[in-house]
């Protein structure tokens, strides 16, 4: 095929959007592809065509009919089903310092007991509030890879005591955090930048909800909710780890709704990499999130599953069998049979603003696939009278685009940088009408 897919990644910024058509492959593709000329053709499911074949032409029909259908498809085939908020859940403020980070912030530490008991599953939430800003303040909420103590160079934060992935250079020894791990993710969170702009930051460690390895669920929230605990056999559409992590984000928002210093109507949910997938799924299920932000979320997140570039469904299911529901495994190497694709996940956030970000060197996450996913979500946003990306072509690096759907691809690798945060804060300022 002679198309935009034949161009190298460096040239994609100047190329027009292609509406792909279905052509059967003549032979099984190799596991990983970084050659645009070999991407091939595919057909994306139409988010506006209902199961009975009728076309959605207005926002009311989307909300009442089509959106529930699409959400159900993702629950059944990709992320699984999550439980509701437990009636017995309790939140306890365990520590507070009104002069944290040299007086710039009030630091609040909160423990959320999911089942209301201290010997049951729980999550520690860290909240930084900007001192000097008029309260309540808007907030960003996300899960971290390194624990609350790693988010900022703040010796006052309780050191996480649960499982962590080994990393001597980040101060993790024998799967446990040490003092050397403090502040090791500070570059990814830019706490002082957020505070200076008048935003709160709320974070929790994803391992509090479920340790990130195949058998981690046995000592996690999923086991606590399972009928037979760690001996349970999950149904094909039961929640996976991403579903559990997303569920935890909603429980954090439950707490923020009770915190008078936080404007819970203006909370942006954010995530990077596997936690970017998590943020997208949280935003799709929980419409209380006012903005949804995906940073380098790739396969199973913002990038199109049907686009054969970088990580694939087969690779992600093999490497991380615990992330998705059991049904998702049947689409490994069989993405054309998947009844949804990731542009519809983005569309589920409508009409709430959503931002998708890529990195030029992060080819594993397929930046063009992330852009195309955001682009193909636009028809749903138009039902609400909302502008999407505002462009047909993928932008050049470091040139953010978009209105209600935002997008940028920046220079650099798979990471969250100060540049990314500057764009997210500008996006939030615009949509929240916020100025410090």
Q: Does residue 23 belong to any structural domain of this protein?
A: no
Taking Cα atoms as reference points, which of 271, 324, 336, 272 lies closest to residue 300? 324
**Rounded average pLDDT over 139-154:** 98
| pLDDT at 162 (0 to 100) | 95
Which residues lie closer than 8 Å to 289 by C-beta, 6 or more apart?
Answer: 141, 253, 267, 268, 269, 282, 283, 349, 352
Could you give the C-alpha distances from 14 to 21, 41, 236, 269, in angstroms and in order?
21, 20, 42, 31
Q: Does residue 268 belong to any structural domain of this protein?
A: yes
CA distance 145 to 274: 10
Contact call for residues 98 and 106 (beta carbons, < 8 A): yes
Q: Does residue 11 belong to any structural domain of this protein?
A: no
Q: Does residue 18 belong to any structural domain of this protein?
A: no
Number of domains within the chain: 1
Could you give the C-alpha distances from 430 to 268, 406, 412, in angstroms and in order?
13, 11, 26
Beta-strand relationship, 401-402 and 405-410 = antiparallel
Task: Report the catalytic residues.
Answer: 273, 414
Task: Find the domain containing 127 and state its range.
Answer: 78-139+192-432
- Tell me the per-residue pLDDT of 379-415, one tens digit each, with 9 for 90 and over: 999 999 999 999 999 999 999 999 999 999 999 999 9
pLDDT-derived band at 436, boundaries 50, 70, 90: low
- Tell me the per-residue pLDDT of 265-321, one tens digit each, with 9 for 90 and over: 999 999 999 999 999 999 999 999 999 999 999 999 999 999 999 999 999 999 999
Q: Does residue 417 belong to any structural domain of this protein?
A: yes
- Tell me the per-residue pLDDT of 158-201, one tens digit each, with 9 for 90 and over: 999 999 988 878 899 999 999 999 999 999 999 999 999 999 99
CA distance 112 to 121: 9
**Rounded average pLDDT over 210-237:** 95
33 φ, ψ to 5°? -130, 130
CA atoms within 13 A on the CB side of 149: 19
Q: Does residue 324 belong to any structural domain of this protein?
A: yes
Region label for 163, one of left (φ > 0), alpha (ψ between -120 and 50) or beta (otherwise): beta
Q: How far apart are the first and last CA of the chain?
A: 52
Domain with residue 316: its CATH number is 3.40.50.1820
| pLDDT at 434 (0 to 100) | 76
Q: Does residue 21 belong to any structural domain of this protein?
A: no
| pLDDT at 30 (0 to 100) | 57
pLDDT score of 125 more than 90: yes
- Tell me the per-residue pLDDT of 103-112, one tens digit each, with 9 for 90 and over: 999 999 999 9
Q: Does residue 334 belong to any structural domain of this protein?
A: yes
């Amino acid at each position: 095929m002679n198309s935009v897919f034949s161009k190298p990644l460096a040239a994609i910024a100047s190329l027009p959007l292609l509406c792909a058509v279905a052509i059967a492959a003549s032979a099984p593709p190799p596991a990983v592809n970084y050659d645009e000329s070999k991407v091939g053709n595919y057909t994306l499911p139409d988010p506006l065509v209902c199961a009975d074949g009728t076309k959605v032409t207005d926002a009311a029909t989307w909300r009442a009919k089509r959106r529930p259908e699409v959400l159900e498809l993702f629950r059944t085939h990709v992320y699984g089903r999550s439980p509701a908020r437990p009636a017995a859940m309790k939140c306890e403020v365990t520590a507070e310092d009104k002069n944290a980070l040299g007086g710039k912030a009030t630091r609040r530490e909160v423990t959320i007991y999911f089942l209301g008991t201290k010997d049951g599953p729980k999550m520690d939430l860290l909240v930084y509030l900007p001192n000097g800003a008029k309260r309540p303040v808007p907030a960003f909420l996300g899960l971290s890879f390194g624990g609350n103590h790693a988010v900022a160079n703040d010796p006052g934060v309780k050191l996480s005591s649960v499982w962590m992935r080994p990393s001597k250079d980040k101060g993790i020894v024998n799967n446990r955090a040490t003092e050397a791990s403090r502040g090791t993710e500070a570059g990814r969170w830019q706490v002082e930048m957020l505070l200076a702009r008048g935003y709160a930051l709320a974070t929790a460690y994803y391992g509090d909800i479920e340790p990130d390895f195949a058998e981690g669920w046995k000592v996690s929230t999923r086991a606590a909710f399972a009928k037979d605990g760690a001996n349970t056999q999950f149904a094909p559409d039961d929640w996976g780890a991403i579903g559990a992590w997303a569920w935890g984000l909603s429980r954090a928002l439950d707490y923020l709704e009770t915190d008078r210093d936080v404007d819970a109507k203006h909370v942006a949910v954010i995530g990077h990499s596997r936690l970017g997938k998590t943020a997208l799924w949280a935003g799709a299920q929980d419409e209380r999130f006012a903005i949804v932000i995906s940073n380098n979320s790739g396969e199973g997140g913002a990038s199109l599953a049907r686009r054969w570039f970088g990580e694939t469904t087969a690779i992600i299911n093999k490497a991380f069998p615990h992330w998705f529901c059991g049904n998702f495994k049947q689409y490994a190497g069989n993405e054309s049979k998947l009844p949804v694709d990731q542009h519809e996940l983005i569309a589920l956030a409508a009409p709430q603003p959503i931002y998708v970000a890529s990195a030029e060197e992060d080819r594993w996450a397929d930046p063009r696939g992330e852009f195309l996913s955001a682009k193909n979500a636009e028809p749903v946003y138009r039902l609400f009278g909302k502008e999407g990306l505002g462009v047909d072509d993928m932008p050049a690096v470091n040139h953010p685009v978009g209105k209600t759907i935002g997008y940028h691809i920046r220079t650099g690798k798979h990471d969250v940088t100060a540049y990314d945060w500057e764009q997210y804060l500008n996006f939030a300022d615009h949509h929240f009408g916020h100025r410090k």
